Amino acid sequence: MPMHSRVQYPEAIEPLVQFIEETPPSEILDLALEKLRAGVPTKTMLTASVLAVVRSSDLPPGHHGGPLHPVAGLHAIWNLASRLEGEESFVPVLQHVALSNKHIHQPDMGPFSLLDFKPLDSGGVEATKAAFRTACGRGEYNKADHLFLSLWENAPAIEAFDLLLSVAIPKNILDDHYFIFPSFAWRTLDIIGREYLPLLMRPVVRYVARFPSAPAMPEIDALIDEYDLMNSISRQRSGEDETTAIGELGEAMGRVEMYAEIPVLMAKALSGGLSLEGAGEALSIGAASLFLRSLTGNPMDVHMHTSANIRRYLLKLPGISLRNKILLLLLWQTGPEVRSTQFRMEDEVQPDMAAVAALPPRSQEDLLEAITQSIYQQPPTDWATVSNLGLMRAVPEVKITVNLATQYVKAGYDPMVFMARLAQIVCHDNFTEMHAFKHHQAVIEEYNATREPWRWMHLVAGAQAAAISYGKNMAIYEEALDLMHAA
């Protein structure tokens, strides 16, 4: 008998999980499409995909690979598939399955098995919480995994999650993904079901607990003390009475030169009576404005939107502590993939409204087609000249897309039609490990959750991101299309 066995899933899903784990990458698209056509529900296929990559793919030292992006991207994939019709809705699902399968079969991530082991109780919930914090301080991620299995069993789930966030949020300054992984994993459970919570969160706990520990944040702690934020915030929900304050804060964020100004603006607004959810909406407006000013050409630099979006989700969750909610609002700009953009920004707020006004008038249909073609005709990337993806700058042609998209929303044309077209375009991407899908979902949610007159910026940001990511690598999309048309 083996000393240890790998995690086992319920009998209803286990065979499909094994299919995704064991199918050779060269065959996965064809066979997964066959199963979808035979009636396997989208949610079931995505659940199996994410459970497979959790069980059979290891987390590499960085943040690309293993279960991280397949888990974090599932919410976006599920919603994107729901926006598409017919077999087109299979494409994002196939993208997810292909990525999970790829990570399982890559030698830097596998072979790997998530082993079944016992929870570790350190003498009650509070003692186990303390032991978890100690383990995180030492980078003892395996011990942290044991301890957290006990917390899921013995504490309310939201209480355990809040503890995990209290370690993850400060580590945002080291890598945005320390915060993004647990947060989007929680949203994934909203879709696949809470019964998978302890298993799905195991790689999350292991990732959050590993070295290095979060550095001290004296300037943030000083802001919390100076504005007495732990005692001065009395309002959770926003209302129409906050519209002016939300707009002023969001616009002020969009104009900053140095991102260190952002938490100061936020702390002042909170101490002045702005609600937590109103502050989250202002953060969303500021994030959209800064993204439109950004000159980045890296298709993975979408964390401005995705991390603002997930913060708004968490701000609404009952059971998240006030300190964590305050830190969510004060640390957005600290993530390396967010703060790197402050050195690649237009001087003025974008888009250039004079350039938009100079465009010839078009009907909704003609303008939508012009936007689409401007994305499809973006110049190809000469990868021989790219030494550092993070330093890529957007080609000038991206502004053509931005201006056309601005003309569309300012003309009052149908936003739903625009979203549907962006959904079709974003399905092409398999370069960004789900980043393009997550950004697309974030801009849709932020458009729907942001009030006038600022919501339009999110749709334009969606078009800008699509223009940046289009054409980088579309092999999975093209193969899936060939398979669909071959039938």
Q: Are 302 and 465 in contact (CB under 8 A)?
A: yes
Q: DSSP readout, 327-374?
A: HHHHSGGGSHHHHGGGGSB-SS-SS-HHHHHTSPP--HHHHHHHHHHH
Sign of CA dihedral 210, 160, 204, 171: negative
Q: Which of 117, 118, 151 is nearest to 133 (CA)?
A: 151
* 461 class by beta-carbon count within 10 Å (0-12 exposed, 13-18 middle, 19+ buried): buried
Query: Alpha helices, DSSP H only, in 25-89?
Result: 25-37, 42-56, 68-83
Task: Determine phi and psi for 393, rounding to 5 degrees.
Answer: -110, 150
Q: How far apart are CA 234 and CA 223, in angstroms?
A: 17
pLDDT in tens, 129-186: 999 999 999 999 999 999 999 999 999 999 999 999 999 999 999 999 999 999 999 9
- With 90 as the cut, is the pLDDT of residue 487 above it? no
Confidence band, pLDDT 50/70/90 cuts, at residue 1: very low
pLDDT in tens, 432-460: 678 788 999 999 999 999 999 999 999 99
pLDDT of residue 386: 58
pLDDT of residue 382: 65
Q: Are 287 and 308 in contact (CB under 8 A)?
A: yes
pLDDT in tens, 332-364: 999 998 998 898 899 999 999 999 999 999 999
- With 90 as the cut, is the pLDDT of residue 393 above it? no
pLDDT of residue 479: 74
pLDDT of residue 383: 53
Q: Could you tell me how many residues make up the chain?
A: 487
Ramachandran sector of residue 412 (left: φ over 0; alpha: ψ -120 to 50; beta: rest): left
Q: What is the mean pLDDT of the chain?
A: 93
Q: In the chain, what percentage of residues exceed pLDDT 70?
A: 94
Q: Are 338 and 332 in contact (CB under 8 A)?
A: yes
CA R_g for the chain: 22
- With 80 as the cut, is the pLDDT of residue 481 above it? no
Q: Name every residue whose Cβ is closer than 8 Å to that of residue 265 and which is 6 or more positions away in sequence.
A: 249, 252, 253, 256
Query: Alpha carbon of 223 to those of 244, 269, 327: distances in Å?
Result: 24, 12, 11
Mean pLDDT of 307-321: 97
pLDDT of residue 17: 98
Peptide bond into 360 cis (omega under 30): no
pLDDT in tens, 267-278: 999 999 999 999
Q: How far apart are CA 401 and CA 464, in angstroms?
A: 7
pLDDT in tens, 176-198: 999 999 999 999 999 999 999 99
Q: Are 423 and 456 in contact (CB under 8 A)?
A: no
Q: In the chain, what percentage of residues exceed pLDDT 90?
A: 83
pLDDT of residue 60: 85
pLDDT of residue 484: 73
- With 60 as the cut, is the pLDDT of residue 372 above it? yes
pLDDT of residue 428: 80
pLDDT in tens, 402-411: 999 999 999 9
Q: How far apart are CA 255 and CA 347, in angstroms?
A: 9
Between the two ends of the chain, the Cα-to-Cα distance in Å is 46
